[in-house]
Chain A
Amino acid sequence: MIASGRIAAGVALHPRGRLAAAVLASVGIAVTSHRLALALLLLAALGACACAIVQGALAAGTALGRVAAVNGFVALTALTLPFAWTAAGPVLDPSGVELAWLVVLRANAVVLACTALLAGFDAATLARAAAGLRAPDKLCRLLFLIARYLDLLGAERARIERAMRARGFVPRSDRRTVEAYGKLVAALLAGAVARAERVERAMRARGFGRAVPAAPVREAKAREWAWAGGTACVLAAAWAYAGVG
């Protein structure tokens, strides 16, 4: 089971097994449309997160931050979906309410499950795990480079912003500030394209081929599959309980 308290042990697992479990859980939750089954999956995911936090594999702040970020969007859907717009104005529609429930449960279950299963992953680990699962090469490269670029872009943004402050820029809630940040983003994007080409050339000059460097092979293969299998068991149990195929 994902909530079986093996999250901390999971950190030592090959990332491939954890990514497989996360994908399986996400797809499983996405295709479940029975409210009770979803509620059970949500509870299981919540339990997995709690285990990960208790065992120190996941920071509570990180988990809360992710849940809050997703629920910002979910709240918008949940508040608008239940209403049907008629000539007489908005009318509460039972099928809309049902849909809103599904959205809330699914989104939160997926976020919690992925947060628990991928606790401690960085972009490079994710890329290696994806390569281990034989994901398309382009996707793996993209994930692998994200690690580099996020860092570079973050540093570049900080440098440009410091230079802006050196010329007296103070962010305010006015149009000029929005314009200035718009230009900052445009400069970052333009710079990122040029930098991507330079970085690519520099990486190729040091023998970077098309493939993401493979993850070191580990021997504990059975445990990985047990882990992914555990996730599948939780899904199957939830479906069976709710009587949904």
Chain B
Amino acid sequence: MSSERALSTTEPLLRARDLVASRGARRVLDGAALELHEGERLVVLGENGAGKSTLLMALLGLLPGVAGEVEIFGRPCRTEADFAPNRGPVGLLFQDPDDQLFCATVAEDAAFGPLNRGATPEAAARAAHAALGALGIARLADRPPHALSGGEKRLAALAGVLAMRPRVLLLDEPTASLEAGATTRVLEALLGTGLPLVVATHDPACDAALGTRRLRLADGRCREA
């Protein structure tokens, strides 16, 4: 599988070039480019509406009509068939957990990804509970997602991503609209994964805690910040 391919030490995990995407008449991405290497936690800064979410979704081929080059684990991805096997090895945490949590219980939702990757129901349940345990929210397993607090929802959504054992995480405003305590818990959980990250945020606390390198997305392009 493409995601299992061994990489040379210099080859980036993710590489995007010349990304162009429009929302209505406006060009949200206009030649955006980025690279993520092993051990990096790349923070993408930008105003509201700068195109950060669009950029993350474009990296996983989730938006129609995006032009440009994307390479994941050294393999060019152009078609849905190229991107599909990378959804899991590259985990995406959505900005609004309500977009992601759609099952009847938290545990069921966390098992959704592993089942999509062909796991047996038992193995998926094990992966789900392991992810919930790792984030310290095993007690939420049988709760319905809509009854959770904002911070709990964010962690439950993250568990759904981690249950797929990703090698890279893409995080869309992981601390947006969380109070200080919940922000700390989410940031600790993300650091605790030890995974390379691309984090889109405009939260200084998130940037300071996670970033090893920074890009600023403005006018559809990424510049070193």
Residues of chain B with a CB closer than 8 A to A138's CB: none
- Secondary structure of the A side of the interface? helix
Residue of B nearest to A162 (CB): B62
B-chain residues with CB within 8 Å of residue A183 when the two chains form the complex: 102-104
Interface Cβ pair total, 8 Å cutoff: 62
- Give the interface of A toward B (CB within 8 A): 156, 159-160, 162-170, 176, 180, 183-184, 186-187, 190-191, 194
Among the listed B57, B104, B146, B161, which residue makes an inter-chain contact with A167, where contact means beta carbons less than 8 Å apart? B161
Q: How far is the CA of A165 from the CA of B100 in the complex (A)?
A: 10
Residues in chain B within 8 A of chain A (CB atoms): 57, 60, 62, 84, 87-88, 91-92, 94, 96, 98-104, 112-113, 115-117, 146, 160-161, 164
Contact A164:B62 (CB < 8 A) given known A170-B116, A194-B146: no
Nearest residue (CB) in B for A188 is B102
A160–B164 Cα gap in the complex (Å)? 18
B195 to chain A, nearest CB (A): 16
Most central of A163, A176, A184 by chain B CB within 10 Å: A163
Given contacts A162-B62, A190-B146, A194-B146, contact A168 B87 (CB under 8 A): yes
How many angstroms from the CA of A176 to the CA of B99 in the assembled complex?
A: 20
Contact (Cβ within 8 A) A159 B99: yes
| A residues near B115, Cβ cutoff 8 Å | 176
By a CB distance below 8 angstroms, the chain A residues around B57 are 162, 166
A74 to B99 alpha-carbon distance, docked (Å): 37
User: Could you say which residues of chain A place their CB within 8 Å of the CB of B99?
Assistant: 156, 159-160, 162-163
